[in-house]
């Protein structure tokens, strides 16, 4: 997907612009999605002190790894008509073999997400029609093709339009999260504070923090939009792109972490540890559990609206990354020319394949969420945490980022998430 830019774009004034705000909302929309709505349950179940530690870590373990990934993407060139995205940078710096490996990993990270989102959207529409509109059960054969078609219509106008649509969705989404946090406030109780005096000592504290860390990482993950974001900043700001990438990303992560933490803490304190356990057992988001507990129509409708928004914006972000990886895959595996990759025919082909596969999965209502969750953990960690650190040592233009203390944090969090993902897979398939 292409930005409609002109030569003057690279000389845009470095002050804050409307497009910067659009990208803040785009990153927020990708980072805060359906998975985030399950996070408060997981966070609350760790107990008060681990919850406090994990909340404090949320900002640094989100911002610094993705900034490192953004710097890696910026190190790539745009020679020979290439976009200079994450896959192009990998091919340039690490060679064709690594490029093919990353292309496969990257594609396996982003494409399945779209399938999950179309299944979730179809299920949510059917449930909303039955429980809120009292229309009875609507056939998946109608809902899946139509809802997926609407999503595809959103992506056909290019990156700028997609990010703008995400921005329009994200603003009410942020307001709904804050509103839900405020609505939960009158129901706060002290049961969570009682866990502060019976947390089991330092060993239990370390264990619960270790176990909860991967959920924090993936609650704020925005891997699929980083490459498109960096490419857009390079086109818009030229030599000033590194500063703008840091600035916009920091604002976006601050906004995401602050609003989600307020929402999470408020809703956690509105429930008891026993109720959080029940919510986990029911496989419900904390929104759905609260709506069920208080039997409030406004909460029921608002929770559905938030799920709709989360699914739509996440699908859009994943589509950008899917098309990007499809281009690199065709280039490296089939030797497709740049003219073909940037042609309308290629874009339509990708759209048709995405529509056919995601619609089929939504109609079939495949139960793939657990498998995808398990499979995506080590793949995402490799792309976000280990690839940039390796590049800092390998690529001459990135040597200036070597040896920084924050790199130790990135490596440590990456190892924790990787070990957690592998042990989860062993436990999952071992049974």
Please tell me the least confidently modeled range out of 5-9, 170-174, 207-211, 351-355: 5-9
The CA distance from 341 to 403, in Å, is: 38
User: pLDDT tens, 115-154?
Assistant: 878 887 888 788 778 776 778 888 989 999 999 998 888 7
pLDDT score of 39: 85
Confidence category of residue 262, pLDDT binned at 50, 70, 90? very high
319 neighbors 295 (Cβ within 8 angstroms): no
56 neighbors 197 (Cβ within 8 angstroms): no
User: pLDDT tens, 378-416?
Assistant: 677 888 889 999 999 988 999 999 989 999 999 999 898
pLDDT score of 38: 74
Confidence category of residue 199, pLDDT binned at 50, 70, 90? low
The CA distance from 271 to 420, in Å, is: 28
- Kindly tell me the sign of the dihedral angle through the C-alpha atoms of 110, 114, 115, 120: positive
Q: How many CB atoms lie within 10 A of CB 408?
A: 11
Q: Which of 90-99, 152-161, 241-250 has the highest mean pLDDT?
A: 241-250
The CA distance from 239 to 236, in Å, is: 10
User: pLDDT tens, 268-295?
Assistant: 999 888 888 887 776 667 776 777 677 6
Confidence category of residue 244, pLDDT binned at 50, 70, 90? very high
* Domains contained in the chain, CATH given: 24-430 (1.20.1740.10)
- Residue position matching structure tokens 């497009």: 19
pLDDT score of 12: 47
- pLDDT for 242 beyond 90: yes
Mean pLDDT of 303-314: 76
User: pLDDT tens, 354-384?
Assistant: 899 889 988 988 764 455 555 566 677 888 8
Q: What is the DSSP string of 53-114?
A: HHHHHHHHHHHHHHHHHHHHHHTS--GGG----HHHHHHHHH-HHHHHHHHHHHHHHHHHHH
pLDDT score of 101: 82
Region of 384 on the Ramachandran plot (φ > 0 left; ψ -120 to 50 alpha; else beta): alpha
271 HSE (CA, 13 A, CB side): 31
Q: How many CB atoms lie within 10 A of CB 370?
A: 10
Mean pLDDT of 321-326: 78
Mean pLDDT of 16-41: 84
- pLDDT for 155 beyond 50: yes
Tell which wins on pLDDT, 64 or 346: 64
Give long-range contacts, CB 8 A cutoff, 24+ apart: 299-307: 299/180, 299/183, 300/131, 300/132, 301/132, 302/176, 302/179, 302/180, 303/180, 304/124, 304/127, 304/128, 304/132, 305/172, 305/176, 306/37, 306/173, 306/176, 306/177, 306/180, 307/34, 307/37, 307/120, 307/124
Helix axes 369-381 and 96-131, enclosed angle (nearest 10): 150
The CA distance from 99 to 393, in Å, is: 17
**Alpha carbon of residue 290 to chain centroid:** 24
The CA distance from 25 to 18, in Å, is: 11
Q: What is the DSSP string of 288-331?
A: HHHHHHHT-HHHHHHHHHHHHHHHHHHHHHHHHHHHHHHHHHHH
378 neighbors 422 (Cβ within 8 angstroms): yes
Confidence category of residue 52, pLDDT binned at 50, 70, 90? very high
Cβ contacts of 140 within 8 Å, gap of 6 or more = 122, 126, 362, 363, 365
pLDDT score of 113: 72
Q: What Cα–Cα distance (Å) separates residue 168 from each residue in 72, 172, 219, 322?
A: 29, 7, 21, 22
């Amino acid at each position: 997907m292409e930005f409609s830019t002109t030569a003057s774009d690279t000389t845009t004034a470095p002050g804050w612009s409307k497009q910067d705000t659009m990208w803040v909302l785009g990153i927020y929309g990708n980072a805060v999605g359906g998975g985030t709505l399950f996070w408060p349950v997981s966070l609350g179940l760790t107990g008060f002190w681990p919850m406090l530690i994990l909340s404090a870590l949320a900002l640094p373990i989100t911002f610094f790894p993705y900034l490192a990934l953004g710097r890696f993407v910026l190190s790539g060139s745009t020679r020979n008509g290439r976009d200079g995205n994450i896959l192009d940078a990998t091919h340039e710096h690490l060679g064709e073999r690594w490029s093919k490996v990353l292309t496969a990993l990257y594609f396996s990270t982003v494409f399945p997400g779209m399938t999950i989102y179309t299944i979730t959207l179809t299920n949510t529409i059917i449930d909303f029609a039955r429980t809120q509109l009292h229309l009875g059960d609507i056939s998946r054969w109608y809902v899946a093709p139509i809802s997926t078609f609407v999503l595809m219509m959103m992506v056909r106008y290019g990156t700028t339009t997609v990010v703008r649509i995400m921005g329009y969705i994200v603003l009410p989404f942020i307001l709904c999260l804050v509103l839900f946090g405020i609505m939960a406030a009158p129901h706060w109780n002290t049961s969570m504070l009682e866990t502060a005096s019976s947390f089991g000592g330092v060993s239990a504290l370390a264990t619960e923090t270790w176990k909860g860390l991967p959920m924090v990482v993936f609650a704020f993950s925005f891997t699929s939009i980083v490459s498109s974001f960096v490419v857009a900043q390079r086109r818009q700001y030229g030599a000033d792109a590194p500063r703008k990438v840091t600035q916009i990303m920091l604002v976006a992560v601050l906004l995401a972490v602050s609003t989600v933490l307020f929402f999470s803490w408020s809703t956690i304190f509105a429930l008891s540890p026993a109720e959080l356990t029940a919510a986990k057992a029911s496989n419900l988001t904390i929104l759905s559990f609260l709506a069920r507990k208080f039997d409030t129509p406004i909460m029921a409708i608002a929770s559905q609206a938030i799920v709709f928004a989360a699914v739509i914006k996440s699908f859009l972000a994943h589509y950008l990354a899917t098309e990007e990886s499809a281009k690199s895959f065709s280039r490296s595996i089939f030797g497709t020319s740049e003219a073909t990759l940037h042609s309308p025919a290629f874009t339509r082909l990708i759209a048709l394949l995405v529509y056919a596969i995601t619609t089929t999965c939504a109609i079939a209502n495949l139960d793939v969420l657990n498998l995808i969750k398990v499979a995506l953990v080590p793949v995402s960690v490799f792309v976000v945490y280990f690839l940039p650190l390796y590049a800092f040592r390998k690529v001459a233009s990135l040597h200036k980022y070597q040896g920084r203390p924050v790199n130790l944090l990135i490596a440590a969090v990456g190892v924790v998430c990787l070990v957690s993902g592998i042990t989860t897979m062993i436990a999952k398939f071992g049974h």
